[in-house]
Structure 1
Amino acid sequence: MRNKQPTLAQSFAALLAAPSISAIDASQDQSNKPVLDLLCNWFGDLGFQCQQQAVANTRDKHNFVATLGQGNGGLLLAGHTDTVPFDEGQWQVDPFKLTEKDGKWYGLGSCDMKGFFALILEALKEIPLDKLQRPLHILASADEETTMNGAKAFAANAAIKPEYAIIGEPTSLRPVYMHKGHLAQGIRIVGRSGHSSDPAKGLNAIDIMHLVIGQLLKLRQHLAENYRENAFSVPYPTMNFGHIHGGDAANRICGCCDLHLDIRPLPGIALQDLELMLHQYLKPVVSQYPGAVTISTLYPGNEAFKDSADSAWSQLVASLAGNAPEVVNYATEAPYIRQLGCHTLVLGPGSIEQAHQPDEYMAQDQLKPTVELLRKLIWHACIKD
């Protein structure tokens, strides 16, 4: 006999009460196992076959995969179980407690994006699961907010072959079929410090960084002139110099200078190719000053993503959601889910404007439309003849 399923508010509250912060800093990083244990109990009670898969190169993180039905095809509903850290002094409510106020459900992960799993569970309550013609899969991944190692590991080892996938990131229920990627690089120049009265006795790292920036500006121009996708509001790859620091006094030759930059490539530009371009453009400076220039990756990058706005699936989802397919500039797990060979869209409740913000919330007027939309998507992908 199956256990009684929680109400939507109960499942929502339980997910928020299970901290699952992802952070590069080990002192803030947390396992997502408590969230996965909840999902395993709930979906297992509905008859899903549930697995928890350890993710390499993480701190006790796991993916959760639940499947009902057999064979290939069907639908994958995907999301991540982790949240960003929170600034305690800026929150007016308890981040780990569901707080209802002014037509909103507040809590860390309410829209980005643990709440999505509670809405899937709610949608399944009125679906005749014994009528599935094609399988329904649920993926709850690890470490999306940092390395995306969960989605990468899942894509590399997946034993399922869905025909369609929906990633429930907060898009205000607007289907997203394309987004840019993200590459963050650090460049360090190590010169020789000395007294400013005799520059020839040192090697000024700021002078060398000046040459580096000149080459990077040439790469920026090359990217803008040779790659274009007019669907984006900024239709070319961008490069941003976000941080620079060098030296310690006006009367000392600068011995070290650091630059952090990010590049946001269009679909069709692999991160590996982008890194190669970066090295090629900096090669003249590297050759002129052997051993002085170091190029490194600040944190794992994200590939760009592109599906089709005109496919039958995209058009069906757009019709059901009442919103046309669109593009966004932020990154998601979509390029890795797309590697399964399925038609992939990013579509979920809540606004991206709430993600990573103090007092994150899910507007309650998004709840019922999301549940109804999920039921329709499951019916079309898994039940309809």
Structure 2
Amino acid sequence: MLDDSIAILDELIAFPTVSADSNLGMVAHLAQRLSDAGARIELSHDDGGTKANLFASLGPEADGGVVLSGHTDVVPVGGQPWTGDPFAMAARDGRLYGRGTCDMKGFIAAAVALLPQLDGDRLRRPLHFAFTYDEEVGCLGARQLVEHLRARGLRPAAAIIGEPTGMRVVEGHKGCHEYTTLFTGREGHGSVPERGVNAVEMAVRYVHRLLALRDELIASAPEGSRFAPPWTTVNVGRMAGGTAHNVIAGEAAVDWEMRPVRAEDARHVRDALEAYCAQVLLPAMRAVAPEARIETRVIGEVAGLEPADDNLARRLVSELTGQDGAELVPFSTEAGLFQSLGTHCVVCGPGEIAQAHKPDEFVEIAQLARCCRMLEGLAVNLT
């Protein structure tokens, strides 16, 4: 199975599925392999029709079963000092190099390489393959896929999200919510500030409130939290606005994010900022400029994976890998979206997150082999 995984990974790396571009070629390739193995194929496209999720199933048409989940998109390579073609896999020194080898086409390749060992008629429980688009820019494909499954009333019992964890079992991670807040005021001459509405000043006041909320979150960290740091974090990544020293700024923008340890923290921050804008900032702005406005755009809201005492997926993967215990990680995945279905989830896959998104990204062949052994054990478990 390992040799097949390496050969399939070589094929997948050749598809340059950067998030800004289409993934349809890779999806068609995977769909053909899965269809040839007898899987039932479902495709769901984005609004533009240039990207698609692939959901395929083997075994009985029933609720429950296990999902093997991976995203097809990769981050850009522009400006990175690669020593070779990032979309032509290279093997050397026990490693496989190429964009996506680690994050996360290695896992997808191993999942597809399992197909010759699977007989859908002999599976006691369904085995699903969920390969999504646009994970790297907000888990857009997985959000669509999960809503599709919810509408169908299909709830898999367990999901293995094959992000690179060094094949360690991960049972939890924070969410990642990213926003851009836009301020529109009224321009004017800097010598008469009372005649305009300075959007930059309003953005500063907004950030001040956001940082006050950050302090509240630090003070209210959940007792016994295993996350590092244990509280919901807030970060202001960028501020921009204005045109010149002597011009009242008519527009401004703030890019910010939060990484919640629990869903109620995210709701508290959003509600508090909405109230601050509605009750404080906008009345002050519109007293001078009725056309003034504040708009917050959601760039991405990726749900966290909340650790659970009862987790079928954790038990299953721990048995398959021979590991005791499970970890938490700081990076986010699609797992929280599947968890929202009521599916038990873990994150476990080949490669180290430290190699992801970097030039000369690689996965160790030994780790890919461990992934193959885990999936071979899963096939036996389902039969």
* TM-score (norm. length: structure 2): 0.88
Match of 1:13 in 2: 10
Q: Secondary structure at the match of 2:102?
A: coil
Q: Deviations over 1:13-58 (max 9, x none)?
A: 11111222212xxxxx22x12112221222223222223x232434
The structural deviation recorded for 1:213 is 2.4
Task: Tell me whether 1:118 sits opposite 2:84 in the alignment.
Answer: no
Whether the 8 Å CA contact 1:271–1:301 is kept in 2: the answer is no
Match of 1:286 in 2: 282
Match of 1:301 in 2: 301
Whether the 8 Å CA contact 2:239–2:255 is kept in 1: the answer is yes
Whether the 8 Å CA contact 1:354–1:360 is kept in 2: the answer is yes
Q: Secondary structure at the match of 1:91?
A: coil
Task: Tell me whether 1:361 sits opposite 2:329 in the alignment.
Answer: no
**Structure 2 counterpart of 1:37, one-letter code:** A
Instruction: Supply the distance in 2 between the matched residues of 1:193 and 1:161 (Cα, whole angstroms).
Output: 53
Match of 1:311 in 2: 311
Ranges in structure 1 where 5+ consecutive residues have no aligned partner: 24-28
Q: 159-168 or 8-17: which moved more? A: 159-168
Question: Structure 1 231/371 Cα, relative in aligned 2: closer, same or farther at 3 Å?
Answer: same
Instruction: Supply the distance in 2 between the matched residues of 1:281 and 1:180 (Cα, whole angstroms).
Output: 26
The structural deviation recorded for 1:295 is 2.6
> RMSD over aligned Cα, in angstroms?
2.5
What number of residue pairs does the alignment pair up?
371
Question: Structure 1 145/376 Cα, relative in aligned 2: closer, same or farther at 3 Å?
Answer: same
Instruction: Supply the distance in 1 between the matched residues of 2:335 and 2:267 (Cα, whole angstroms).
Output: 18
Instruction: Supply the distance in 1 between the matched residues of 2:109 and 2:15 (Cα, whole angstroms).
Output: 13
The structural deviation recorded for 1:242 is 0.9
Q: Secondary structure at the match of 2:47?
A: coil
Alignment of 1:7-86 (within 5 A): 7-23=4-20, 29-30=21-22, 32-51=23-42, 53-70=43-60, 71-86=62-77
Instruction: Supply the distance in 2 between the matched residues of 1:239 and 1:288 (Cα, whole angstroms).
Output: 26
Question: Structure 1 150/138 Cα, relative in aligned 2: closer, same or farther at 3 Å?
Answer: same
Indicate the percent of aligned positions where both proteins have the same amino acid: 33
Alignment of 1:77-156 (within 5 A): 77-87=68-78, 89-126=80-117, 131-156=122-147
Whether the 8 Å CA contact 2:232–2:259 is kept in 1: the answer is yes
Q: 246-255 or 35-44: which moved more? A: 246-255
Match of 2:320 in 1: 320
Whether the 8 Å CA contact 2:59–2:122 is kept in 1: the answer is no
Ranges in structure 2 where 5+ consecutive residues have no aligned partner: none
